[in-house]
Structure 1
């Protein structure tokens, strides 16, 4: 074998050995992370943070302090959908409970315990206002009164009934007219006008429905001790 051939073989062997040594040294300084098929497909990716939606009493937007009661009142929608009343997370009047009617819907609640005393619906279009008056007369001091209108709440209303409602803290009892919408929370023995009242006049120029104003909705926290 010629000397030149031997030198070429030696050079090739040297190159191979040098390449192997370089590669070996490089891999010793590299941290190789193992990858399994689950992580590669995303099965082990961090799960998105679960959003917890807080549900307050009566599904209200905010929580009520411990010295108050939570409530939500919704008037009727025209003469189609009835009103509803929720008090301390209990539905006291609604279509589902089958205890509402066209006219004025009233619920009496114990102002200390928050327990329902009684509820009733009074037809103010073709009914007798005397039934409403007899319902209001025996109310004890400290009793909370929740009211929601449905369809027409005023046609048969008289001054005696309006005066009794005014004494419960209403600012609109004497203004209530044909098909006006009204929701109210007051009480027997209230010294001032109630802040929990909404009234919307039946006006053909502004009515949302044909012949009726839009639905009224009110939620809040009423103190356990009336003043």
Structure 2
């Protein structure tokens, strides 16, 4: 039994395994090198083409352009064209442009502008305390006389009356106050100015701001702005002891030719 069992043990054992040969796989090292070289060449060629297509420009400019993509462009309106006598809108060619500005405060001198020419003003040195008057020939548009009449000191109401009355027919009279224009203003001057169409001359008070456009020997259209007044008021004065300056402006139709 023992011998049989030993033989059985030897006969029934697992059969010996024969060694099997596996296929040889070539190493991947050389293939990786080839692919890497090919990819490098492609990348270099792509970069070369891109460099040829993009124009030369500073990197800072390119970065600035990229940063400003999407920003809304800033549109600047053109500066408005300056009009005669600083009007907002131009006067028609068959009219005269005018602008009368009263004084306001010690350093705010009165001004008279006609057809873009300064007839009286601080720059010209021909305005003074009182009532300032410029006379313009209505037919030619040329200034014929300018005078200022002190209404605070001296007797200048009479000379001013004669000056107004001496203006020839077909004249425009442009009047503005600087400082006080009423203290020594007498009835003869008030009557003369009232006859020219003023509705405020009798309402003049100490340091009232007053402007007036008058026509002698002809009528102005009713829609033209001709007169304005602003009284001194300690509660409402813009300047210490002085009311705010006032102005009128417009376009006067020329005489038909």
Quick check: TM above 0.5?
Answer: yes
| Residues 1:24 and 1:158: Cα distance change in structure 2 (over 3 Å) | same
Residue 26 of structure 2 aligns to a residue whose secondary structure is: helix
Q: Is the 8 A contact 1:142 1:225 kept in 2?
A: no
Aligned to 2:203: 175
Q: How does 1:1-227 map to 2 (within 5 A)?
A: 4-5=26-27, 8-17=29-38, 20-21=41-42, 24=45, 32-37=53-58, 39-40=61-62, 51-127=78-154, 128-191=156-219, 195-225=225-255
Q: Is the 8 A contact 2:177 2:210 kept in 1?
A: yes
Shift of 1:31: 8.0
Shift of 1:108: 0.4
Q: Is the 8 A contact 2:230 2:243 kept in 1?
A: yes
Deviations 1:148-175 (A, max 9, x none): 1011111222222112212222221122
TM-score by structure 2 length? Answer: 0.73
| Residues 1:222 and 1:124: Cα distance change in structure 2 (over 3 Å) | same
Residue 195 of structure 1 aligns to a residue whose secondary structure is: coil
Q: Is the 8 A contact 1:104 1:148 kept in 2?
A: yes
Shift of 1:202: 2.4
Q: Where does structure 2 lack aligned partners over 5 or more consecutive residues?
A: 1-23
TM-score by structure 1 length? Answer: 0.81
* Larger Cα-atom Rg: 2
Q: Where does structure 1 lack aligned partners over 5 or more consecutive residues?
A: none
In 1, the alpha carbon distance for the partners of 2:74 and 2:105 equals: 47
| Residues 1:112 and 1:31: Cα distance change in structure 2 (over 3 Å) | farther
Q: Provide the alpha-carbon RMSD of the alignment.
A: 3.4
| Residues 1:191 and 1:71: Cα distance change in structure 2 (over 3 Å) | closer
In 1, the alpha carbon distance for the partners of 2:147 and 2:63 equals: 62
Report which of the two has the higher share of helix: 2
